[in-house]
Amino acid sequence: MAEDSKGKTVSELARFVGGHATGDINLLIDHVASLENANQGAIAFIENTKLLDKTSNSNASCIIIQTGSSACDAQSIIEVEQPKLAFALIAQLLHPPKKLNPSIHPTAIIESTTTIDAGTQVHNNVSIGNNVKIGKNCVIHPNVTIYNNVTIGDNVIIHAGVVIGADGFGYVRSATGYIKFPQIGTVVIEDDVEIGANSCIDRGALGATRIGQGTKIDNLVQIAHNVEIGKRVVIASQTGISGSTIIEDDAVIGGQVGMGDHARVQSGAVIGSKAGVLPGKIVRAGSVMWGVPVRPLEEYKRLNAYFGRLPQMHNEINELRQLLQKALAKIEEMEKR
Amino acid sequence: MAEDSKGKTVSELARFVGGHATGDINLLIDHVASLENANQGAIAFIENTKLLDKTSNSNASCIIIQTGSSACDAQSIIEVEQPKLAFALIAQLLHPPKKLNPSIHPTAIIESTTTIDAGTQVHNNVSIGNNVKIGKNCVIHPNVTIYNNVTIGDNVIIHAGVVIGADGFGYVRSATGYIKFPQIGTVVIEDDVEIGANSCIDRGALGATRIGQGTKIDNLVQIAHNVEIGKRVVIASQTGISGSTIIEDDAVIGGQVGMGDHARVQSGAVIGSKAGVLPGKIVRAGSVMWGVPVRPLEEYKRLNAYFGRLPQMHNEINELRQLLQKALAKIEEMEKR
Amino acid sequence: MAEDSKGKTVSELARFVGGHATGDINLLIDHVASLENANQGAIAFIENTKLLDKTSNSNASCIIIQTGSSACDAQSIIEVEQPKLAFALIAQLLHPPKKLNPSIHPTAIIESTTTIDAGTQVHNNVSIGNNVKIGKNCVIHPNVTIYNNVTIGDNVIIHAGVVIGADGFGYVRSATGYIKFPQIGTVVIEDDVEIGANSCIDRGALGATRIGQGTKIDNLVQIAHNVEIGKRVVIASQTGISGSTIIEDDAVIGGQVGMGDHARVQSGAVIGSKAGVLPGKIVRAGSVMWGVPVRPLEEYKRLNAYFGRLPQMHNEINELRQLLQKALAKIEEMEKR
pLDDT in tens, B114-129: 999 999 999 999 999 9
- The stretch B179-190 carries a mean pLDDT of 97
Q: Which of A93-97, A258-262, C54-58 has the lowest mean pLDDT?
A: C54-58
B324: which chain A residues are within 8 Å (Cβ-Cβ)? 324
Mind telling me how many Å the CA of B174 is from chain C's nearest CA? 32
Output the pLDDT for position A1.
33
d(Cα A77, Cα A45) in Å, to the nearest integer? Answer: 9
Output the pLDDT for position A4.
44
DSSP for A53-117 reads GGGGG---SEEEEETTPPP--SSEEEEES-HHHHHHHHHHHHSPPPPPSSSB-TT-EE-TT-EE-
A112 reaches C (C-beta below 8 A): no
Contact C281, C261 (CB under 8 A): no
B161 reaches A (C-beta below 8 A): yes
Output the pLDDT for position B2.
35
* pLDDT-based confidence at residue A71 (cuts at 50, 70, 90): low
Output the pLDDT for position A314.
95
Output the pLDDT for position B25.
96
Strand residues in B206-328 grouped as ranges (E): 208-211, 216-217, 222-223, 228-229, 234-235, 240-241, 246-247, 252-253, 258-259, 264-265, 270-271, 276-277, 282-283, 288-290, 295-296
B305 reaches C (C-beta below 8 A): no
B262 reaches A (C-beta below 8 A): no
Q: Looking at the predicted structure, is the pLDDT value of residue B298 above 80?
A: yes
Spatial CB neighbours of B17, under 8 Å, sequence gap ≥ 6: B64, B78, B80, B85, B86, B89, B90
Output the pLDDT for position C3.
41
Contact C88 A143 (CB under 8 A): no
Please identify among residues 40-69 of chain C the ones whose CB lies closer than 8 Å to any CB of chain B: none
Output the pLDDT for position C5.
55
Q: Looking at the predicted structure, is the pLDDT value of residue B71 above 70?
A: no
Mutate to test the interface with C, among B64, B101, B256, B319 (most CBs of C within 10 A): B256
Residue among C163, C207, C276 whose CB faces B34 most closely: C207
Query: At residue B313, what are phi and psi to the nearest 5 degrees?
Result: -60, -40
Mind telling me how many Å the CA of C173 is from chain B's nearest CA? 7
- The stretch B200-219 carries a mean pLDDT of 98
Burial of A39 (0-12, 13-18, 19+ CB in 10 A): exposed
Closest residue on chain A to B203 (Cα): A197
Q: Which of B231, B199, B232 is nearest to B218 (CA)?
A: B199
Residue among B124, B161, B321 whose CB faces C161 most closely: B161
Mind telling me how many Å the CA of B58 is from chain C's nearest CA? 15
- The stretch A310-329 carries a mean pLDDT of 93
Q: Looking at the predicted structure, is the pLDDT value of residue B1 above 50?
A: no
Q: Looking at the predicted structure, is the pLDDT value of residue A87 above 80?
A: yes
Output the pLDDT for position C68.
86
User: Number of B:C CB contacts under 8 A?
Assistant: 178
Query: At residue A156, what are phi and psi to the nearest 5 degrees?
Result: -90, 135
Q: How far is CA B196 from the centre of its chain?
A: 9
Q: Looking at the predicted structure, is the pLDDT value of residue A121 above 70?
A: yes
Contact A198 C161 (CB under 8 A): yes
Output the pLDDT for position C71.
66
Q: Output the CA–CA distances (angstroms, integers) from residue B297 to A10, A303, B9, B235, B310, in the order listed.
A: 54, 20, 46, 18, 20
Catalytic residue among C31, C105, C225, C314: C225
Output the pLDDT for position C101.
85
Residue among C163, C182, C310 whose CB faces B197 most closely: C163
Mind telling me how many Å the CA of C268 is from chain B's nearest CA? 25
C328: which chain A residues are within 8 Å (Cβ-Cβ)? 323, 327
Q: Which of A193, A245, A206 is nearest to A223 (CA)?
A: A245
B180 reaches A (C-beta below 8 A): yes
d(Cα C68, Cα C70) in Å, to the nearest integer? Answer: 6
Q: Looking at the predicted structure, is the pLDDT value of residue B130 above 80?
A: yes
- pTM for the model stands at 0.96
List, for chain C, all residue ranges whose pLDDT scores fall below the cut of 50: 1-4
Mind telling me how many Å the CA of A176 is from chain B's nearest CA? 33
- Rounded to 10°, the helix B297-308/A297-308 angle is 100
- The stretch A26-49 carries a mean pLDDT of 93
Contact B24, B76 (CB under 8 A): yes
Output the pLDDT for position B311.
95
A236: which chain B residues are within 8 Å (Cβ-Cβ)? 169, 242
Residue among A107, A147, A220 whose CB faces C220 most closely: A220
Mind telling me how many Å the CA of C324 is from chain A's nearest CA? 7
d(Cα C251, Cα C245) in Å, to the nearest integer? Answer: 13
Closest residue on chain C to B84 (Cα): C172
Mutate to test the interface with C, among A149, A169, A320 (most CBs of C within 10 A): A169
Q: Which of A184-198, B116-130, B186-200, C43-57 has the lowest mean pLDDT?
A: C43-57
A66: which chain B residues are within 8 Å (Cβ-Cβ)? none
Predicted complex ipTM: 0.95
d(Cα A271, Cα A293) in Å, to the nearest integer? Answer: 11
Closest residue on chain C to B334 (Cα): C334
Output the pLDDT for position C4.
44
Residue among A124, A255, A307 whose CB faces B109 most closely: A124
Contact B46, B67 (CB under 8 A): no
B324 reaches A (C-beta below 8 A): yes
Contact B159 C143 (CB under 8 A): no
Long-range contacts formed by C280-286: CB under 8 A, 24+ apart: C285/C248
Contact C109 B324 (CB under 8 A): no
Residue among A123, A231, A314 whose CB faces B313 most closely: A314
Closest residue on chain B to C302 (Cα): B311
C124 reaches A (C-beta below 8 A): yes
Q: Looking at the predicted structure, is the pLDDT value of residue A123 above 80?
A: yes
C111 reaches B (C-beta below 8 A): no
- Rounded to 10°, the helix B297-308/B310-336 angle is 60
d(Cα B274, Cα A188) in Å, to the nearest integer? Answer: 33
Contact C32 A206 (CB under 8 A): yes
Mutate to test the interface with B, among A43, A100, A274, A297 (most CBs of B within 10 A): A274
Residue among B220, B238, B316 whose CB faces A317 most closely: B316
Mind telling me how many Å the CA of A18 is from chain B's nearest CA? 14
